[in-house]
Amino acid sequence: MKFERTGEWFKSSRSSSNASCVEVRFAGAVGVRDSKDRSGPTLDVDAAAWRAFVTTVRAGQYD
């Protein structure tokens, strides 16, 4: 999984075409929002916390 867009919201290329996903944005902090409610609230986390989360997901921590 490669993240290269900065400042724009996007879904993972592994997401299906349905709207039941989260979107992320890399702009200083990492923003996370519900793709079904793009004008709704966002969760902002620092980049180190995001990397730690992604690492645990890839390791199967939440399976």
For residue range 3-60, what is the model confidence (pLDDT) as tens digits?
A: 555 568 888 777 766 667 888 998 889 999 988 888 899 999 999 999 999 999 999 9
What separation in angstroms does the CA of 1 have from each of 23, 37, 39, 40, 58? 14, 24, 26, 26, 10
**Of 20, 63, 25, whose CA–CA distance to 47 is shortest?**
25
pLDDT at 8: 86
